[in-house]
């Protein structure tokens, strides 16, 4: 698979043994690991559906894959873990702010008692 980067995003391209071309256009922040997985899944599903499938099969398939891959944390354990780590980090930051605020109150009270 080849990937090229433009200021607005990435275009990833893959060609299979039958010279079928598969591509995905994503933001620059989107993980190439997910793009590879998306293209592999797209290739497998399209081959399974066949070229003579009912009208609209490919567009429904692509819409389903787009919905799935728009939120990697819905299917990827690493993305789920990263999301949870981010949530925990925010909670820790909030707690540290609270502690810093309490220390400031304590320091003010201590200065007031010395007078």
Give residue-wise pLDDT tens across range 79-114.
Answer: 778 778 888 999 999 999 988 888 877 777 777 666
Residue 86 Cα distances to 27, 63, 77, angstroms: 20, 29, 14
Write out pLDDT tens, residues 11-48: 888 888 888 888 888 888 888 888 888 888 888 888 88
Q: Would the CA dihedral through 14, 43, 9, 31 be positive or negative?
A: negative
Give the DSSP H or E segment for 38: helix 32-49
Give Cβ neighbours of residue 17 (< 8 Å, ≥ 6 apart). Answer: none
Note the pTM of the prediction, 2 decimals. Answer: 0.54
Higher pLDDT, 15 or 52: 15
Residue 4 is predicted with a pLDDT of: 59
């Amino acid at each position: 698979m080849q990937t090229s980067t433009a200021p607005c995003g990435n275009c990833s391209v893959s060609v299979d043994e039958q010279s079928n071309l598969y591509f995905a256009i994503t933001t620059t922040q989107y993980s190439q690991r997910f793009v590879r997985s998306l293209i592999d899944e797209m290739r497998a599903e399209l081959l399974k559906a066949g070229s003579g499938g009912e009208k609209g099969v490919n567009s429904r398939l692509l819409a389903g894959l787009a919905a799935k891959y728009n939120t990697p944390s819905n299917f990827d354990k690493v993305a789920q873990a990263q999301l949870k780590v981010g949530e925990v980090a925010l909670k820790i930051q909030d707690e540290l702010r609270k502690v810093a605020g309490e220390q400031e109150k304590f320091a003010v009270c201590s200065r007031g008692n010395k007078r």
